[in-house]
Amino acid sequence: MTPTQKILIIGGVAGGASAATRLRRLSESAEIIIFERGEFISFANCGLPYYIGGEITEKSALILQSPLSFKARYNIDVRIQHEIISIDRSSKTVLVKNYQTGEIYSENYDKLILSPGAKPICPDEFQSDRIFTIRNIPDTYRIKLFLDTKKPQHAVVAGGGFIGLEMTENLQRAGVNVTIVECGNHVLSTFDYDVACNVDSYIESKGVQLFLNHEIKSIIEQDGRIIVTFNQGGKIITDMIIFAVGVRPDTSFVQNAGIAANSHGAIIVTETMQTSDPDIYAIGDAVSAVNFVTENSDYIPLAGPAGKQGRIAADQICNIDSQYSGSQGSAILRIFDMTIASTGISEFNAKNSGLNYEKIFLWSSNHADYYPRAANMLIKVVFERETGKLLGTQIVGYDGVDKRCDVIATAIRAKMTACDLAKLDLCYAPPYSSVKDPVNMAGFVIDNVITGKMKIFHWHDVKELQESDNTVLLDVRTLAEYNRGHIEGFINIPVDELRNRIDELDKSKKIYVTCQVGIRGYIAVRILMQNGFDAYNLSGGYRLWSSIFVTKIQSYKR
Amino acid sequence: MTPTQKILIIGGVAGGASAATRLRRLSESAEIIIFERGEFISFANCGLPYYIGGEITEKSALILQSPLSFKARYNIDVRIQHEIISIDRSSKTVLVKNYQTGEIYSENYDKLILSPGAKPICPDEFQSDRIFTIRNIPDTYRIKLFLDTKKPQHAVVAGGGFIGLEMTENLQRAGVNVTIVECGNHVLSTFDYDVACNVDSYIESKGVQLFLNHEIKSIIEQDGRIIVTFNQGGKIITDMIIFAVGVRPDTSFVQNAGIAANSHGAIIVTETMQTSDPDIYAIGDAVSAVNFVTENSDYIPLAGPAGKQGRIAADQICNIDSQYSGSQGSAILRIFDMTIASTGISEFNAKNSGLNYEKIFLWSSNHADYYPRAANMLIKVVFERETGKLLGTQIVGYDGVDKRCDVIATAIRAKMTACDLAKLDLCYAPPYSSVKDPVNMAGFVIDNVITGKMKIFHWHDVKELQESDNTVLLDVRTLAEYNRGHIEGFINIPVDELRNRIDELDKSKKIYVTCQVGIRGYIAVRILMQNGFDAYNLSGGYRLWSSIFVTKIQSYKR
């Protein structure tokens, strides 16, 4: 780079701060100015809900850097409450408004980095000071002040995504009862229904009211309370509403400058993080990046990619050939004691992408079953049927979910196949794992599926099989388990009796086997196959089926 | 395979049980017999210490399968208290002794799988019923009975390895004070000194007495107590001794049969788990397998490889071409609240293997610092200097250590480079990680080292630098931190003042920089390099240096 290069950065949070500090470490001589519309740079945006819930008690904990500390450590000129009004690409200048003084002035640049982020979607038509969104520190203080002064008893959280669920937990922690209103048929829309429905049941067990398949029609303030009505009929009376229905790129000023963006306003960038103007870079929640798995462009607004992209933009400006190889969308949520994590693409996305995929479900303990406090998790892995390419995983459980998701995220990044998961040499001691880690087990199961040692069927196939004349539906659990609850139409032969009672089965029919979680079913299928039967195992077993049909049906009865 | 194949398995724990069940799932028609010398098959050998400490309270929790359950589920003939006396390879028969009846008989085989395991090393010359080892259920009951009836106040644990430390924790939990006697200069001999010394300090802080560099000379029982003397002088009076100084393959009967083994008695196998006799397979703690990192043969007696190898032997016998691609030695230990984990090879091994390696040290929080209960971990990564090939990692800390080690274990398996760690797209939310996960940070640091953006030096270089005239030793922490403790010879210029005070430094000398953990040192080195200085950063910073020299010196003062 030329020693006197002048770099302007729009947005001083996450990606912008990351780009600025990397730039300075690479170049002592560059002139670096950050313009931040808000009052704060480099704040802990992912920590905001925990301040509201009281788990984080100090305001100072949320603010990671200040303009003063940035100046001292990095010699970076940070201008807060400064907004970019326009960009003139021909003259390489921006027009800036200083909200502290009202002054408007122009600043030239050699390179410009756009890191404006995304803003929460909040319908304009509803006006009330009891409606909130949460994006930044002032939003957070506003909610906290409302809680402290108005003592609301009840809140509606509109949107059951990551932010919505984090806000739900923290509002409950702060003593506010919550109803989640979600337009989809499950929370966490980036997850598949069969996994997310476990989250639905769990949060209801924690006293959260869940309105699925509900769209807000109107919000009316009346006598200091809020009446929310729905397109589907019915209403809720509440004290406050948090809108957490998603975000969109905060890029209107960019589009006026003729920088290419997609129809949702996400700036289009190359793998060098350059926009359609090569002197202008864009990073973070404002950009559309490549999905590492599908290799298509995607909008994945997460903190991890933002930080990496900031570093890459800085490298590129300093002539270091870093490239962004795409986002996997690795994401994780804690709600109460539950952990939900995913990486790669969902089955829903795989289907929409036209991929020839298969999936498996697996229930595993986080550590040795005989060691105290073992907790179960449900692992879903989606993979390409022919190649075994790992497409994604979704895991719901408690301790140890994060580890398994990160291991699979690493395997996806390394372009390992699903069968390679069986070979991973992971750390084992009873408090941490089992001899065969859940990730190894996933690899074993998938290997058995791909090589044809085990044919499987799924929870959504059951209804059709129940109506067929050409099938035997076989539950191989013990009689006691069977009697406690089973799927209609399934007969019972415990796996340990199967060899002796195999003649009871009609070899001319296909045998569809289930057990509790899938392990005994696998053994039964192997016995049957080697005795000349065409046999299939229910992936995830009765436990998965009942988590979808029994628990969920009950919860719908509300 | 031929439908009537007869397979004998010697040893019904871990690998043997794994091989047997896989065999049955692959072949309903095979005749499968397990001979187990002890009374139990498939027991939780890694859980035994926790039964002694009382964390596992039920005896039944330790026994995962019984001969009866194996027969019912897998139609496998399990013969406990049966020992193999000899193998006649020419006639393909084994001679078996039934300890229940005293009978000796022969059994023929088509394929033989050897899974005899390893036995604890215990010097023959010391005889006392207060000396114990721990390998199996009877050993465990014997120790438990001794604790319950004799109420020992003090125990010596000979050996500071994994089993020794697990026994130490569990004895302390059972109310017994422990002195660890270790011949090396730190516990956990498979770890490097600079990492393991943190464990030394920690376990001493938990009230465990640690005798490093001590070898037992004699053990004498006197008046119901034990006197232990040392080659280095001195003695301890104790109530019991646990020998946990390592294991060796339990393979004498194998060697008499002319099956190739190495000088330590470990059976030599191919990647198909076949011994020098292709009809005889061997697995688990009895075999020498390939080290995945060095590609040399190695002895890595761990449960994870045993299970995988059992499965591979079964596959091979059933004409499925599975191969064992080697052990990484991934291992983990919990001692009190601390977690210590490693995968790949240590620096010590890298040096002995003649590799051109470098290493970095990193202190990282397990999750966002601003989120409550963040805990620090020390990560050491060893990599090839030229290629960036990941050789190994060692991590010591608390929560989240297991995750980072497993992620790096996966990266090693996938043959990712150390720089690739920077690109991993891992799950982030404040309770689980930071925007840049510790593993990403390791990747960033190594990338900076390999590309020359940051030159580093190490704790063991300090002494020589202190004696050199051609160096400036510079501590860039705040004055307050510096005054609380610093390395002799280091002058103080806080990083935030460095740009203004850079003229105080002599550009003709090399500048060796430290800070607390290495981050500010890196920034300082970048400032210095760009101002024409030849500058180096202390990897791991003052914190690592003092954990080795200050804390350890104090602990040696005992």
A505 Cβ contact list (under 8 Å, min separation 6): A472, A474, A493, A511, A528, A533
Give me the architecture of the A6-117+248-317 domain, per CATH: 3-Layer(bba) Sandwich (3.50)
Q: What is the pLDDT of residues A345-358, one digit of tens each?
A: 999 999 999 999 99
Give the minimum alpha-carbon distance from A73 to chain B in angstroms, rounded to a whole number: 5
| Interior/surface letters A389-416, b for 16+ CB within 10 angstroms, e for the rest | bbbbbbbbbbbbbbbbbbbbbbbbbbeb
Domain boundaries, chain A: 6-117+248-317, 131-245, 337-451, 456-539
Tell me what pLDDT residue B109 has: 98
Q: Is B386 exposed, middle or buried (0-12, 13-18, 19+ CB in 10 A)?
A: exposed
A416 touches B: beta carbon within 8 Å:
yes
Contact A192, A361 (CB under 8 A): no
Tell me what pLDDT residue B553 has: 52
CB contact under 8 A, B425 and A327: yes
State the Cα–Cα distance between residues B182 and B189, nearest whole angstrom: 9
B142 Cβ contact list (under 8 Å, min separation 6): B132
State the Cα–Cα distance between residues A525 and A535, nearest whole angstrom: 6
Contacts of A444 in chain B (CB under 8 A): 311
Tell me what pLDDT residue A556 has: 41
State the Cα–Cα distance between residues B405 and B188, nearest whole angstrom: 16
Sequence-ordered alpha helix ranges (H) in B467-539: 479-484, 495-501, 519-530
B268: helix, coil or strand? strand
B481: helix, coil or strand? helix
Tell me what pLDDT residue A475 has: 98
State the Cα–Cα distance between residues A299 and A308, nearest whole angstrom: 15
Beta-carbon count within 10 A of B185 CB: 14
E strands, A115-250, are 118-120, 131-132, 154-158, 177-181, 209-211, 216-222, 225-230, 235-238, 240-243, 247-249
CATH match for A337-451 among 3.30.365.10, 3.30.565.10, 3.50.50.60, 1.10.3720.10:
3.50.50.60
Contact A316, A281 (CB under 8 A): yes
Nearest to B341 among A334, A368, A427 (CB): A427
CB contact under 8 A, B292 and A425: yes
Beta-carbon count within 10 A of B484 CB: 10
Eight-class DSSP state of A459: G
Q: Is the dihedral of CA B65, B68, B72, B75 positive or negative?
A: positive
Contact A511, A474 (CB under 8 A): yes
State the Cα–Cα distance between residues A27 and A357, nearest whole angstrom: 47
A64 touches B: beta carbon within 8 Å:
yes
Say whether B46 is catalytic: yes
Size of interface A-B (CB pairs under 8 A): 242
Share of chain A above pLDDT 70, in %: 98
State the Cα–Cα distance between residues A133 and A122, nearest whole angstrom: 7
Q: What is the pLDDT of residues A146-191, one digit of tens each?
A: 999 999 999 999 999 999 999 999 999 999 999 999 999 999 999 9
Residue of B nearest to A321 (CA): B451
Domain A337-451 shares a fold with domain A456-539:
no
Return the CATH fold of A456-539.
Oxidized Rhodanese; domain 1 (3.40.250)
B445 touches A: beta carbon within 8 Å:
no
Beta-carbon count within 10 A of B100 CB: 11
Residue of A nearest to B523 (CA): A25
Q: What angle do CA B159, B162, B167 make, to 5 degrees?
A: 70
Question: Side chain identity at B193, as an amino acid letter?
Answer: Y
| CA distances in angstroms from A216 to A152, A178, A208, listed in the order given | 20, 16, 18
Q: Is A292 exposed, middle or buried (0-12, 13-18, 19+ CB in 10 A)?
A: buried
State the Cα–Cα distance between residues B331 and A425, nearest whole angstrom: 9
Closest CA to B43 of B153, B129, B117: B117
CB contact under 8 A, B47 and A425: no
Closest CA to A288 of A320, A311, A313, A263: A263
Contact residues, A window 494-523, toward B, CB-based 8 Å cutoff: 495-496, 499, 522-523
CB contact under 8 A, B330 and A432: no
State the Cα–Cα distance between residues B218 and B112, nearest whole angstrom: 42
DSSP H/E element including B237: strand B235-238
Residue B459, phi then psi, degrees to nearest 5: -55, -35
| Interior/surface letters A467-488, b for 16+ CB within 10 angstroms, e for the rest | eeeebbbbbbbbeebbeeebbe
Residue A538, phi then psi, degrees to nearest 5: -75, 115
- Predicted confidence pLDDT, tens digits, chain B (558 residues): 455 899 999 999 989 999 999 999 999 999 999 999 999 998 999 999 999 999 999 988 998 889 999 999 999 999 999 999 999 999 999 999 999 999 999 999 999 999 999 999 998 888 899 999 999 999 999 999 999 999 999 999 999 999 999 999 999 999 999 999 999 999 999 999 999 999 999 999 999 999 999 999 999 999 999 999 999 999 999 999 999 999 999 998 887 899 999 999 999 999 999 999 999 999 999 999 999 999 999 999 999 999 999 999 999 999 999 999 999 999 999 999 999 999 999 999 999 999 999 999 999 999 999 999 999 999 999 999 999 999 999 999 999 999 999 999 999 999 999 999 999 999 999 999 999 999 999 999 999 999 999 999 999 999 999 999 999 999 999 999 999 999 999 999 999 999 999 999 999 999 999 999 999 999 999 999 999 999 999 999 999 999 999 876 544 433
Q: Which CATH class is domain B337-450?
A: alpha beta
Reported as half-sphere exposure (CB side, CA atoms, 13 A), residue A209 has a value of 15
CB contact under 8 A, B424 and A435: no
Contact B328, B344 (CB under 8 A): yes
Superfamily classification of domain A131-245: FAD/NAD(P)-binding domain (3.50.50.60)
Q: Are strands B82-88 and A111-114 parallel, antiparallel or unpaired?
A: unpaired
Sequence-ordered alpha helix ranges (H) in A318-461: 347-352, 401-413, 438-450
State the Cα–Cα distance between residues A106 and B285, nearest whole angstrom: 72
Q: Is the dihedral of CA B433, B435, B437, B441 positive or negative?
A: negative
Q: Are strands A131-132 and A240-243 parallel, antiparallel or unpaired?
A: parallel
Least trusted range by pLDDT, from A229-233, A302-306, A554-558, B327-331: A554-558
Closest CA to B10 of B364, B249, B295, B347: B249
A95: helix, coil or strand? strand
Contact residues, A window 363-402, toward B, CB-based 8 Å cutoff: 368, 370-372, 402
Please determine, for residue A558, whether its predicted confidence score (pLDDT) is greater than 60: no
A378: helix, coil or strand? strand
Q: Are strands B31-36 and B6-10 parallel, antiparallel or unpaired?
A: parallel
Token digits of residue A329: 């969308």
Residue of B nearest to A497 (CA): B72
Contacts of B330 in chain A (CB under 8 A): 425-428
Interface predicted TM-score (ipTM): 0.97
State the Cα–Cα distance between residues A282 and A284, nearest whole angstrom: 7
Give the minimum alpha-carbon distance from B525 to chain A in angstroms, rounded to a whole number: 9
Residue by residue, DSSP assigns A97-127 as EETTT--EEEEE-SEEEE---EEE---TT--
pLDDT band of A553, cuts 50, 70, 90: low
Tell me what pLDDT residue A42 has: 87
Please report where in the chains the tokens 């009809």 appear, as a residue.
B279
Token digits of residue B221: 């029982």
Tell me what pLDDT residue B294 has: 96
DSSP H/E element including A178: strand A177-181
Return the C-alpha torsion angle B30, B34, B40, B43, nearest 10: -60
Contact residues, A window 268-307, toward B, CB-based 8 Å cutoff: 292, 302-307
Return the C-alpha torsion angle B510, B511, B517, B520, nearest 10: -130
Q: Quote the distance between the C-alpha of residue B479 and its chain's center.
A: 40
Contact B240, B132 (CB under 8 A): yes
Strand partners, B63: B43
Asked if the B456-547 domain carries CATH number 3.40.109.10, the reply is no
Contact B448, B533 (CB under 8 A): no
State the Cα–Cα distance between residues A362 and A381, nearest whole angstrom: 9
Q: What is the pLDDT of residues A57-95, one digit of tens each?
A: 998 899 888 999 999 999 999 999 999 999 999 999 999
| CA distances in angstroms from B331 to A426, A427, B301, B337, listed in the order given | 8, 5, 10, 17
What is the pTM (predicted TM-score) of this model?
Answer: 0.97
Give the minimum alpha-carbon distance from B428 to chain A in angstroms, rounded to a whole number: 6
Beta-carbon count within 10 A of B206 CB: 14
B517 Cβ contact list (under 8 Å, min separation 6): B362, B363, B540, B541, B542, B543, B544
Asked if the B6-118+248-317 domain carries CATH number 3.50.50.60, the reply is yes
Contact A19, A35 (CB under 8 A): no
State the Cα–Cα distance between residues B180 and B171, nearest whole angstrom: 11
Closest CA to B128 of B106, B107, B150, B96: B150
Beta-carbon count within 10 A of B123 CB: 12
Eight-class DSSP state of B301: -
Give the minimum alpha-carbon distance from A495 to chain B in angstroms, rounded to a whole number: 7
Contacts of B410 in chain A (CB under 8 A): 407, 410-411, 414, 416, 424, 426
Closest CA to A46 of B431, B430, B364: B430
B20: helix, coil or strand? helix
User: Euclidean distance between the first and final Cα of chain B, in Å?
Assistant: 64
